Amino acid sequence: MTTRSFPPSPDRPEISDDSAVHPRALHSLVHAAVTDRPLEEVLQLITLLEQSPKYAQATVDALRAIGVDRPVEDVTRLVTLLTQPPRHPGSADETIRAAAESRSVEDVTRLMALLHRAPLEPHCGEEAVRAAAARPVEELVQLIGRLAEEQDTPVRASGAAADQSIAPATAEPVRTDTPEPERPGDRPARLRHPRPPRTAPRRAELPVWPRLFAAAALVLCGLAHFPLHRDGASGAAYGFALGVSILCVLLAPALVLHGGLPVLALSMVVPATLAAIQLFDGRFHSTRLSQALRITAAPPWLAGLMAALAALAALTALLALLTARRVSRQLALPDRPDRPDDHAMAEANRTSG
C-alpha cells in the first residue's frame, strides 16, 4: 500500500515548528504592564528588569511607555522614585526624553515645571530641556511662550498682592457726611481730655549695698559673741551667748534675701541690745550676763564694738528703706478729681445758648 502525498493547500499556510515571539508582542506586553499598574509595582518591575542584561530592551520600552502614556504627575513621581539613592540619577532619562519629545506642548510645559519644583537632581531638568530642544521650531516657540507665561504669573500675583496691601494705607476715605454745627453747650465737654489711667506705684525696694553691709556686720557680731568654752559659766549664761550668736548669723541671710521692715528692725535691735549690755556691764548686778560676756570668742570690748557696728549698719539700711518708700510715694501721681467748674461752665453755656 502506497502513501500519497498532497502538496500544501494555498488556503492553509504551512506552520513552522520553530515559532518565535514577534517583537511587537513584547512591546505591547511591556506597554500594557506599565500603563495601568500602580507606580510602586511599576518601580518594582523596572528594578527587576534592570538586574539582567537580556531585559535591556524591555527596560527601555517600559521607561518610554511611562513617559508617553502615564499622566504628567505620575511621570514626575516615578522620576523621583527612579532617581533616589542608591539608584543612579540617570535611571529615568529614557522616561524624561520620551515625555519631552512625544507629548503635547501643554504636557511638556507642566512636566518641566514639575521637574524643577520636585526635589530632584538638576540632571533631570537638564535632560528634559535637551530633549524638548529637539522638537520642531513651531512647537519650540510655543513651549518658550508657555514657559515665559508660567514664569511671569507668580511675579504678577505678588505685585498685585503688594498693591492691595499698599492701597488701604495710601487711600484716603471719602467723607460723605457734612460736619454738624457745633453747639455752645457741647464745647466744654469736647475740650475735656480723658485722664490717663493711674499707674500703681512700684513697691519700694531697699538698695543692695546697705543690706550687704548690714548682713556682713551681723555675721561678724555673731562670730564675736560665739562661746568657745564654758569656763565655769552657768548653763543659762552659756545658752544666752550661744542663742544671741546664732540669731545674729541667721539674720544676715534673711536681711539679704528679704530686707523688709520687720527684719531690719530686728537686725537693729539685737546688736544694739548687745552693745548696751557690754557698755553697762558694771552697772548691772546680773551674774549670768557677766558670765555670758566673758565666754565670748572675742574680747568683751571687741564684741561690744562689733555689736555697735552691726546696729549702726542695720539702722542705715532701715533709713535707706524709709527714704526709698517716701520717694516712691511722692513720684506716684494721684488721680485728680473732676473739677466742679467744668460741669458749672457747661451748664452755664447751655443756659445762655
Q: What is the pLDDT of residues 111-125, one digit of tens each?
A: 888 887 767 778 888
As a whole number, the mean pLDDT across the chain is 75
Strand, coil or helix: what is 215? helix
CA 8, distance to chain mean position in Å, is: 90
Query: Residue 70 — very low, low, confident or very high, per pLDDT cuts 50/70/90?
Result: very high
Q: Which residue has the higher pLDDT, 49 or 286?
A: 49
Q: What is the pLDDT of residue 89?
A: 80
Q: Compute, in degrees rounded to 10, the torsion defined by CA atoms 45, 50, 53, 55.
A: 20
Contact 307, 252 (CB under 8 A): no
Q: What is the pLDDT of residue 48?
A: 92
What's the average model confidence in pLDDT over 122-129? 83
Is a pLDDT exceeding 70 seen at residue 144? yes
DSSP tag of 5? P
What's the average model confidence in pLDDT over 154-177? 50
Q: What is the pLDDT of residue 156?
A: 58
Q: What is the pLDDT of residue 103?
A: 93
Q: How would you classify residue 21: left for phi > 0, otherwise alpha for psi between -120 and 50, otherwise beta?
A: beta
Burial of 27 (0-12, 13-18, 19+ CB in 10 A): middle
Peptide bond into 207 cis (omega under 30): no
Backbone angles phi, psi at 295, to 5 degrees: -100, 15
Integer-rounded Cα radius of gyration of the chain: 51
pLDDT digits (tens, 9 = 90+) for 9-49: 445 445 444 445 567 888 888 888 888 889 899 989 998 99
Of 44-48, 117-121, 165-169, 296-300, least confident by mean pLDDT is: 165-169
The domain ranges of the chain are 23-153, 208-331
Query: Residue 199 — very low, low, confident or very high, per pLDDT cuts 50/70/90?
Result: very low
CA distances in angstroms from 246 to 28, 203, 225, 272, listed in the order given: 102, 31, 9, 16
What's the average model confidence in pLDDT over 205-229? 82
What's the average model confidence in pLDDT over 281-301? 71
Amino acid, single-letter form, for residue 82: L
What's the average model confidence in pLDDT over 138-151? 85
Q: What is the pLDDT of residue 15?
A: 44
Query: Residue 283 — very low, low, confident or very high, per pLDDT cuts 50/70/90?
Result: low
Contact 278, 237 (CB under 8 A): no
Q: What is the pLDDT of residue 159?
A: 52
Q: What is the pLDDT of residue 303?
A: 83
Is a pLDDT exceeding 60 seen at residue 58? yes
The set of residues, in sequence order, having a beta carbon less than 8 Å from that of 217 and lying 6+ positions away, is 271, 306, 309, 310, 312, 313, 314
Burial 100-135 (b: 16+ CB within 10 A, else e): bbebebebbbbbbbbbeeeebbeebbebbeebbeeb
Answering whether pTM is above 0.85, one says: no
Q: What is the pLDDT of residue 257?
A: 84
Contact 144, 136 (CB under 8 A): no
Q: What is the pLDDT of residue 106?
A: 92
- How many helices (H) and strands (E) would you count in the chain? 15, 0
Report the alpha-carbon distance of residue 194 to residue 172 in Å, rounded: 28
Percent of the chain with pLDDT over 90: 8
What's the average model confidence in pLDDT over 303-315? 88
CB atoms within 10 A of CB 244: 24
Query: Residue 3 — very low, low, confident or very high, per pLDDT cuts 50/70/90?
Result: very low
Query: Residue 189 — very low, low, confident or very high, per pLDDT cuts 50/70/90?
Result: very low
CA distances in angstroms from 342 to 127, 192, 310, 334, 348, listed in the order given: 85, 9, 58, 20, 10
Contact 310, 264 (CB under 8 A): no
The set of residues, in sequence order, having a beta carbon less than 8 Å from that of 37 and lying 6+ positions away, is 45
